[in-house]
């Protein structure tokens, strides 16, 4: 279990954020389906309002964890409408309330980028702790070439937005370093061009699939 501490303002900001976030429908879990067997126990780490948790719950035994109680309430309502079920816990992902080796896989899409460096490392410690040996971690983060890069820099490549939320932008090398103790099966830079008012902008994400090979590894 990670160290306990009082909630920080960048976590509390999510409660306000989910007061006005609009449900955009479920997201694709194709990368998960191509690597993971049906019926496995899966943790959606930072499940938000359930856009990944909903399709995951159709195929796996799912648990959603999020720092925002409001987000979890929204997620439950969408799953109930589809007669789907997941377990839930309100918690930051670097202080998970689960026993060792509880999950066959963890899905963490668009979440690690909202943590400070020490929290990102603590989150990976927790992922190694709650995954079974050989378990899979599916991660997706923002890349440094993304059009939204910038703002009030509070750590290297990490920015504080006016809404109080942290945004960190990764390189592939940084993400791979964070995955110490895992065997990386996929790490891919995904760049898409977006045109706005005649100007071209880049959306940059980095996606990885990694298999736990050492639960006692210490991050570099």
Per-residue pLDDT reduced to its tens digit, 147-180: 999 999 999 999 999 999 999 999 999 999 999 9
Q: Which two tokens stand for residue 165?
A: 């939320």
> Looking at residue 219, what is its pLDDT?
46
Q: Which two tokens stand for residue 143?
A: 């890349």
> Looking at residue 24, what is its pLDDT?
84
Residue 200 lies in a domain: yes
Closest CA to 41 of 139, 140, 131: 131
Total number of domains in the chain: 1
pTM metric for this prediction? 0.93
Residue 149 lies in a domain: yes
Residue 57 lies in a domain: yes
CA angle 134/207/89 to nearest 5° reads: 65
Residue 2 lies in a domain: no
Average pLDDT over residues 87-100: 97
Residue 106 lies in a domain: yes
Residue 145 lies in a domain: yes
Residue 143 confidence (pLDDT) above 50: yes
Query: Dihedrals φ, ψ of 214, to 5°?
Result: -155, 105
Is the CB of residue 101 less than 8 Å from the CB of residue 132? yes
> Looking at residue 148, what is its pLDDT?
94
> Looking at residue 151, what is its pLDDT?
95
> Looking at residue 217, what is its pLDDT?
56
Domain range for residue 86?
9-15+30-212
Beta bridge partners of 143: 170
Residue 23 lies in a domain: no
Residue 1 confidence (pLDDT) above 80: no
Mind listing the pLDDT tens digit for each residue in 171-211?
999 999 999 999 999 999 999 998 988 899 999 999 999 99
> Looking at residue 216, what is its pLDDT?
64
Closest CA to 174 of 160, 161, 192, 155: 155
Instruction: Tokens 């736990």: give the residue.
Output: 212
Closest CA to 27 of 51, 44, 1: 51
Q: What CATH number corresponds to the domain at position 159? A: 3.40.50.150
Residue 25 lies in a domain: no
Q: Report the chain's mean pLDDT, rounded to a whole number.
A: 93
User: Residue 2's pLDDT band (boundaries 50, 70, 90)?
Assistant: very low
């Amino acid at each position: 279990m990670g160290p306990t501490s009082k909630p920080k303002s960048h976590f509390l900001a999510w409660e306000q954020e989910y007061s006005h976030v609009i449900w955009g429908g479920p997201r694709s879990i194709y990368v998960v389906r191509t690597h993971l067997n049906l019926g496995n126990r899966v943790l959606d780490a930072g499940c938000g309002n359930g856009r990944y948790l909903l399709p995951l719950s159709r195929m796996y035994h799912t648990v959603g964890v999020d720092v925002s109680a409001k987000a979890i309430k929204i997620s439950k309502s969408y799953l109930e409408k589809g007669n789907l079920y997941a377990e839930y816990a309100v918690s930051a992902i670097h202080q998970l309330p689960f026993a060792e080796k509880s999950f066959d896989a963890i899905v963490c899409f668009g979440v690690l980028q909202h943590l400070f460096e020490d929290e990102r490392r603590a989150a990976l410690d927790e992922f190694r702790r709650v995954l079974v040996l050989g378990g899979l971690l599916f991660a997706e983060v923002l890349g440094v070439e993304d059009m939204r890069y910038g703002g009030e820099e509070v750590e290297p490549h990490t920015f504080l937005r006016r809404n109080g939320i942290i945004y960190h932008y990764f390189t592939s090398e940084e993400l791979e370093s964070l995955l110490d103790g895992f065997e990386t099966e996929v790490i891919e830079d995904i760049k898409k061009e977006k045109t706005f008012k005649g100007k071209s902008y880049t959306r940059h994400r980095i996606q990885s699939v990694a298999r736990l090979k050492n639960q006692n590894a210490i991050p570099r």
